[in-house]
């Protein structure tokens, strides 16, 4: 069960919730998978999504890559969610820390996920701390980029999305994101 840590809203009417929990259990229209460009679902968030959703996610991912080629930062892929409670899995490719231009790539991955969720008609989405696991992105920096990107997206784009949930699995990442959120709210 997810634990709500903080919530807020944007002038555009969307709500942001920061929770600690398991993204595979979220009752939302779409969950975001922190993916690699070839949609090989091994460990971390991707592995948990595959285990929870079933092999249909792997099959649809393979078909997507065969049809479209590797997934870019700005253009996420999507599949059904298989046995998960969500309708869709949006496969966002975040940057590997140290490869260069990480902030822009993370911004592209988050923006692309929000845009695609809107195109799919989603009203709710759950995002993990993209790239902060095995890709090595420092969580505090990722939190700043993710919060800024969500706010900028909703300021500039009409969207059917109403709720964005940042679902953070481990307590250290959750506390880091919560600390950054509170600092941003204090101004």
**CATH number of the domain bearing residue 38:** 3.40.220.10
pLDDT digits (tens, 9 = 90+) for 134-176: 899 999 999 999 999 999 999 998 899 999 999 999 999 999 9
Write out the residue range of the structural domain in which residue 50 sits: 3-186
For residue 132, CA distances in Å to 13, 90, 124 come to 28, 17, 22
Cβ distance 144 to 106 under 8 Å?
Answer: no
Cβ distance 14 to 162 under 8 Å?
Answer: yes
pLDDT digits (tens, 9 = 90+) for 11-25: 889 999 999 999 999
Please state, in angstroms and rounded to a whole number, the distance separating the CA atoms of residues 122 and 53: 19
Q: What pLDDT score was predicted for residue 157?
A: 85
Q: Can you read off the two tokens belonging to residue 8?
A: 């807020």
| pTM beyond cutoff 0.85 | yes
Average pLDDT, the chain: 95
Q: What pLDDT score was predicted for residue 181?
A: 96
- In the chain, the number of structural domains is 1
Q: State the sign of the Cα–Cα–Cα–Cα dihedral 43, 170, 87, 135.
A: negative
């Amino acid at each position: 069960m997810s634990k709500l840590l903080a919530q807020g809203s944007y002038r555009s009417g969307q709500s942001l919730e920061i929770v600690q929990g398991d993204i595979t259990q979220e009752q939302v229209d779409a969950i975001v998978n922190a993916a690699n460009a070839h949609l090989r679902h091994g460990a971390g968030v991707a592995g948990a999504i595959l285990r929870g959703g079933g092999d249909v996610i792997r099959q649809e991912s393979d078909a997507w890559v065969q049809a479209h080629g590797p997934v870019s930062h700005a253009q996420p892929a999507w599949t059904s969610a298989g046995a998960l409670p969500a309708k869709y899995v949006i496969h966002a490719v975040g940057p590997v820390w140290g490869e260069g231009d990480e902030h822009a790539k993370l911004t592209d991955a988050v923006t692309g996920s929000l845009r695609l969720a809107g195109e799919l008609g989603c009203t709710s989405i759950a995002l993990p701390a993209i790239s902060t696991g095995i890709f090595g992105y420092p969580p505090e920096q990722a939190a700043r980029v993710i919060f800024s990107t969500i706010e900028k997206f909703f300021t500039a784009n009409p969207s059917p999305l109403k709720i964005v949930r940042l679902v953070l699995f481990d307590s250290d990442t959750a506390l880091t994101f919560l600390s950054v959120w509170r600092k941003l709210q204090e101004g």
